[in-house]
Amino acid sequence: MDTFQAKGAFYEVPTGRMDGRVSNLDQAATMPDVDDPITLLKSKFLDKGLSEKDLVLLTAGAHTIGTTACFSMEKSLHNFSSSAKSDPSINPEFLPELKKKCPLGGDGNVRLPLDPATHDKFDVKPFQNLRRGFAVLAFDARLMEDPVTRGVVESYLKSGGQVSFNKDFIQSILKLRAIGVKSAGEGEIRKSCSKLN
């Protein structure tokens, strides 16, 4: 599902980007991880030329639609900070529901919506969820620990926030798309995204 199908903003995706011909496992360490603390998340985004605002939009904002698997929540639900306890930032009203869907030792491939209330609508509901402690993923919840990212979250909960969210999300997603673009001779425009030409 794309943003337009989910009643969000329409935008054109530029085509013709060159992809690399080699995958490097070491580069995976620079990608955000679900259990990263907020300082590391900010650092990983800033290293790619993305701001704290982009961090909010491309994590919690993007999670207005879609699902995740229980294995991505294992630490926050059952072993937060190696304590055999749950992440205290999860609202006590929400925790039993998550644990029921993702019990300790259960099937890690069970899927659940990132935004339980309006999972098929591109809206600001995930930001309301963050404020209430109803974040499904740990790194979304971490956004409320930092004054800058928390301020961005709160800005989309004000009057006109949905319009700003739509516009800002498009800018961030296009900014993300422009990271590491290859020049002629460094890559190829793939005929099929899943394999080299």
Instruction: Using alpha carbons, select from 112, 109, 24 the residue that is nearest to residue 66.
Output: 112
**Residues of the chain falling short of pLDDT 70:** 1-11, 14, 16-17
pLDDT of residue 1: 45
Query: pTM for the full model?
Result: 0.83
pLDDT of residue 119: 79
- Going from N- to C-terminal start, the domains of the chain cover 30-177
Q: Is 39 annotated as a binding residue?
A: no
Q: Is 64 annotated as a binding residue?
A: yes
Q: Is 63 annotated as a binding residue?
A: yes
Q: Is 115 annotated as a binding residue?
A: yes
Distance CA 172, CA 154 (A): 18
pLDDT of residue 64: 87
3-state secondary structure the chain: CCCCCCCCCCCCCCCCCCECCCCCHHHHHHCCCCCCCHHHHHHHHHHCCCCHHHHHHHHHHHHHCCEEEHHHHHHHHHCHHHCCCCCCCCCCCCHHHHHHHCCCCCCCCCEEECCCCCCCCCCCHHHHHHHHCCCCCHHHHHHHHCHHHHHHHHHCCCCCHHHHHHHHHHHHHHHHHCCCCCCCCCCECCCCCCCCC
Which fold would CATH assign to domain 30-177?
Answer: Peroxidase; domain 2 (1.10.420)
Token pair, residue 65, equals: 């639609």
pLDDT of residue 45: 95
The pLDDT tens digits of the residues spanning 74-104 come to 999 998 888 888 999 899 999 999 999 999 9
pLDDT of residue 3: 56
